[in-house]
Structure 1
Amino acid sequence: MGNICRSPSAEGVLRRLVQEAGLQNSIQVDSAGTQNYHIGDAPDGRAQLAARKRGYDISQHRARQVTAEDFTEYDLILAMDWDNLSYMQQICPKPLRHKLMLLMRFANDYEEATVPDPYYGGLDGFFKMLDYLEDACQGVFEIVSKRVKQYQAA
């Protein structure tokens, strides 16, 4: 919601997958919150610590709120939970709503529909969040990178 825990962590996971594949010129990754609670703030310290322990650096991220332009700029807009998805469905132009999905739809190992918000818990919740994000982001990356390679081959 505030773009300081789940979404910047997912951005960090997905960015690394994109960079490792050498596709940073073809795949753009960003994150935003649905609320304006933390605009301009760095990610939560616990999110940064958990990410750093898994080899992701999210320290340079600064929270921002989703904008109307995001719905036209991006091909895929992923929500962490039902509340965020619902909010984006309300503000997204109707012809672009097909771009909105829950991130966990792409998970292979976890069957949960949403990524739990670790903000009000302990550090263990941030590591569990990363387990979910790594799984789902790998699924997203497999689909997106396959499409990119098809476009490049055409």
Structure 2
Amino acid sequence: MKVPHRILLVCLGNICRSPLAEGLLRHHLAAARLGHRVEVDSAGTGGWHAGEPPDRRTIANARTHGIDLSALRARQLRPADYHEFHWLLCADRANLVEVRARAPVDAPARSALLLEWAGLGQGAEVPDPYTGGPEAFEHVWGLVDRATRAIVQGFADRTRAIDA
């Protein structure tokens, strides 16, 4: 059996953007019957929220769209992730810089911006909604939903190679 692609979604605290991306990517993969081809997880570069559920506003926003994130728990990026995952997809440039700075010398994982990897624009970033209101969380929902749908479409079309 072919080893599934392994994708880790990364943001700062793993309570807003990356758990949303994890939940949406899992949802869209399942809907496309591609869950067996891609394994998904999320982590934060910081460990402040380790063990906690996603931000209540992220959970509420996702729930309005029919996605349940309540079972997810935050965790911090760890050195083993660079060996266990093929791609570490980051919400923004600051997270990408941090992910690359922490990469072990022998790490096979590659890293990129989530929106850019999904084909939604060179240097495109997912803004952190943490200090914003409901509109900030809805904006992030739209960006992440488009990105995860594009990623799933790439796998469905068999155009997304692991080294893409």
TM-score w.r.t. the length of structure 2 is: 0.82
Which consecutive unaligned segments of at least 5 residues does structure 1 have? none
1:59 alignment partner in structure 2? 70
2:8 alignment partner in structure 1? none
Does the aligned pair in 2 maintain the 1:5–1:44 contact within 8 Å?
yes
Which consecutive unaligned segments of at least 5 residues does structure 2 have? 1-11
- Which residue identity does 1:139 align to in structure 2? A
2:126 alignment partner in structure 1? 115
CA distance in 2, matches of 1:149, 1:132: 19
Q: Is the partner of 1:29 in helix, strand or coil?
A: strand
| Cα-to-partner distance string for 1:34-79 (whole Å, 9 max, x where unaligned) | 0011000001110001101111111000000011111111111100
Identity level (%): 36
CA distance in 2, matches of 1:149, 1:97: 18
Q: Is the partner of 2:47 in helix, strand or coil?
A: coil
CA distance in 2, matches of 1:93, 1:139: 30
Taking structure 1 as reference, are residues 144 and 72 closer, same or farther at Cα in structure 2, changes over 3 Å only? farther
The CA RMSD over aligned residues, in Å, is 2.2
Query: Residues 4-153 of structure 1 correspond to what in structure 2 (within 5 A)?
Result: 4-94=15-105, 96=107, 99-105=110-116, 106-108=118-120, 113-147=124-158
CA distance in 2, matches of 1:69, 1:46: 30
Higher helix share: 1
Deviation at 1:142, TM superposition (A): 2.4
Q: Is the partner of 2:70 in helix, strand or coil?
A: coil
Q: Is the partner of 2:89 in helix, strand or coil?
A: strand
Q: Which moved more, 1:137-146 or 1:120-129?
A: 137-146
Deviation at 1:24, TM superposition (A): 2.0
Q: Which runs of 4+ in 1 moved over 6 A?
A: none
Taking structure 1 as reference, are residues 107 and 53 closer, same or farther at Cα in structure 2, changes over 3 Å only? farther
Does the aligned pair in 1 maintain the 2:154–2:160 contact within 8 Å?
no
TM-score w.r.t. the length of structure 1 is: 0.87
Does the aligned pair in 2 maintain the 1:89–1:97 contact within 8 Å?
no
Higher strand share: 2
Give the number of aligned pairs: 149
